[in-house]
Amino acid sequence: MLEITRVRPDGRAEVAYFNPAPIHVSRAEVKADGAQAVARIELRDVNYPGCLYRLTYDPTTDELRGDYFQAALEQTFPVVFVRAAE
């Protein structure tokens, strides 16, 4: 689960990540790339040595889609995050 609680005007974002326990987010930013919002989220924790999400927001489906680089395995995987019902 990815929880984005705030995006500052300079692009820095406050993000929490759970799998299912919390994993430390070392950096997070959201920037405009043309008409799209692109998020980069770096994880640094036990078993997460610089893992990186690169996600683009799709407003038509209300999803974050992109890639997850698993640094320990040196592999990249496609990922999709859907908004949880409140």
Give residue-wise pLDDT tens across range 2-14: 999 999 999 999 9
pTM > 0.75: yes or no: yes
Cα separation, 83 vs 33, in Å, equals: 21
Arithmetic mean of pLDDT, 26-51: 94
- Over 80: is that where the pLDDT of 17 sits? yes
Domains contained in the chain, number: 1
Band (pLDDT 50/70/90 cuts) for residue 33 is confident
Residue-number span of the structural domain to which 77 is assigned: 2-82
- The per-residue pLDDT for range 68-84, each reduced to its tens digit, is 999 999 999 999 999 98
Q: What stretches of 8-74 adopt beta strand conformation (E)? A: 13-18, 22-23, 25-33, 36-45, 48-58, 63-70
Residue labelled with tokens 């908004």:
83
